Chain A
Amino acid sequence: MPQASYEYAVGRISQLSTKMLDATKLRRIYEAGSVQESLALLLETGYGGNLTPEQMASEEIDYVIREQLQTSRKIVWEVTPAPELTSLFLLEVDGHNLKTLLKARLLGVEAPDVLIDGGSFPLDTLKECVAGANYESLPDAYRNTMNKIEAELARGIDPLKFSAEIDGAMFRHIKSVLDKKNDHSFVRDYFSLQADFQNARSVVRARLLNWDVDKLRLMLLEGGEIDFNVFMEGMDTPMEQLGAKLNRGKNGKLISQSIEEYVTTGDASVLKRKMETALMNVLRSVKWDMFSLGPIIGYLMGREAEAKALRVIFGAKRGGFEYELPELYA
């Protein structure tokens, strides 16, 4: 039976981390002769280790990635001595499942292939909740939001709105858990940075798509260091001054630099890239903190980044174009 100790957990994670793919290995996979050869090379590294030969024969990269991610999430869940904090990093999976289940219910279809196991909440619980429109078994933030969405669905369906509301619930839940635990570790830094960056990206998107302030307000996520009013005022701030306007709190400088780079280059993806790098840097800063949650979460998020990189690489290979790797942990 696994022991709930950092020593044991980090021991297992240290060994498992040796199997993670770095930029060199990914390059080699990309440079293989064909997609099939790339996949064979990937499987040789031990990626998707629990696949049966029949599953491997299907040669579906998405399937392999999903299996590996589910295995990694399961291991992390099994070894973590701090399940409540670890669960916060798995909430994106739950958000995806909730959105998918709700859309599937509204369309009157089943969506078993798109659902992902290994989130913070059991998948069966989420299925029951959405099917019965009864969210009593979910935490407050999710329950209130889902009840609100159900009420709104009676008036009309706005997928963007309910997607944003579920994301908002995720960050409200994260904030309430961190406040309740009085946590001031890298976990708070990570989500605070993510909230601030996502809010800055929402302002940029809102301006590009000519959204009004009310719509922007819906997209803003709690838990960051920059006040919502600053983001909303950013809608009327000249673009050249937006970086300076958002330069508040400890994440402000980075956000400001990213926006200035966006203004100079006109490339909106720079914000996403900078955010991914900054988030990975938070995890790297605790990579060697051996008796803490740092290396465990680093492994989990590293596997997620690796999955993204593999999707990019196989997409590039099929499309015959050069890839740009997302930020890796390994």
Chain B
Amino acid sequence: MITLGTALAFAGAAVAAGFAGVGSAMGVGIAGQAGAGVVSEDPEKFGNVLVLQALPGTQGIYGLLIAFIIVLNLGVIDGNVKDLTTDQGIALFCAGLPMAIGGLMSGIYQGKVAASGIYLCAKRPEETGKGIILAAMVETYAVLALLISFIMVNGVKL
């Protein structure tokens, strides 16, 4: 029988991986559609477009990382799932939220900036690097979300 605390901790892992993954999927989707438009007219730009399209994919990885640390701390890997108190569960759920929200929003917005970078690459291929830098700026906030979620997860004594 799983305690409410353990269930909440699982929910924390789920939102971190799930929402950040949705953010990445949307971001990569937005940039991918822009990229498909450019490549359909000039297939030689595929290399540059691919780099920009891949950038919003990192939020999903960060979310997965936080979720993985939470379930690892719960003992899911070795098969002995710990019984957490409700307070511990709430704390782990809250620890997953920064990554969930930060990942979701930064993924979407990074996708939009990456799409704009792809349009820049279409018009001025020599400036693709600047498009990548602009899109990478949004990454900062996903990294900050990752950092705070990581510190919070490690701060919960089980």
Which residues on A are within 8 Å of B, measured CB to CB? Answer: 3, 5, 7-18, 79, 290-291
B33-41, B67-75, B138-146: which lies at the interface:
B33-41
Q: Place the interface of chain B in its size category.
A: 10 to 19
**Is B112 within 8 A of A9, CB to CB?**
no
Count chain A CB atoms within 10 A of each CB in B30, B34, B112, B118 and give the residue with the most: B34
Within 8 A of A (CB), among B68-127: 112, 115-116, 118-119, 122-123
Interchain Cβ contacts under 8 Å between A and B, 11 examples: A3-B33, A7-B33, A8-B33, A8-B37, A11-B34, A11-B36, A12-B41, A14-B119, A15-B37, A15-B123, A18-B122
Count chain A CB atoms within 10 A of each CB in B30, B36, B37 and give the residue with the most: B37
Bound-complex Cα distance A18 to B127 (A): 14
Known A-B contacts: A7-B33, A14-B119. Give 4 more (CB < 8 A): A8-B37, A12-B38, A12-B41, A18-B123
B39 smallest CB distance to A (angstroms): 8
Residues on A with C-beta less than 8 A from B35 are: 11
**Is B34 within 8 A of A7, CB to CB?**
yes
Which residues on B are within 8 Å of A, measured CB to CB? Answer: 30-31, 33-38, 40-42, 45, 112, 115-116, 118-119, 122-123
Bound-complex Cα distance A3 to B33 (A): 8
Residues on A with C-beta less than 8 A from B118 are: 11, 14
A296 smallest CB distance to B (angstroms): 11
Residues on B with C-beta less than 8 A from A79 are: 37
Residues on B with C-beta less than 8 A from A9 are: 37
Bound-complex Cα distance A290 to B109 (A): 13
The 10 closest A-B pairs by CB, nearest first: A11-B37, A7-B33, A15-B41, A14-B122, A12-B37, A14-B119, A11-B34, A8-B37, A15-B122, A7-B34
B78 smallest CB distance to A (angstroms): 45
**Is B123 within 8 A of A7, CB to CB?**
no
Bound-complex Cα distance A10 to B119 (A): 8
Residues on B with C-beta less than 8 A from A15 are: 37-38, 41-42, 45, 122-123
A17 smallest CB distance to B (angstroms): 7
Count chain B CB atoms within 10 A of each CB in A7, A10, A11 and give the residue with the most: A11
Residues on B with C-beta less than 8 A from A7 are: 30-31, 33-34, 37, 115
Residues on A with C-beta less than 8 A from B30 are: 7
A300 smallest CB distance to B (angstroms): 16
**Is B119 within 8 A of A8, CB to CB?**
no
B110 smallest CB distance to A (angstroms): 14
A104 smallest CB distance to B (angstroms): 37
Residues on A with C-beta less than 8 A from B116 are: 290
Q: With A290-B115, A291-B112 in contact, do A14 and B33 touch (Cβ < 8 Å)?
A: no
A204 smallest CB distance to B (angstroms): 40
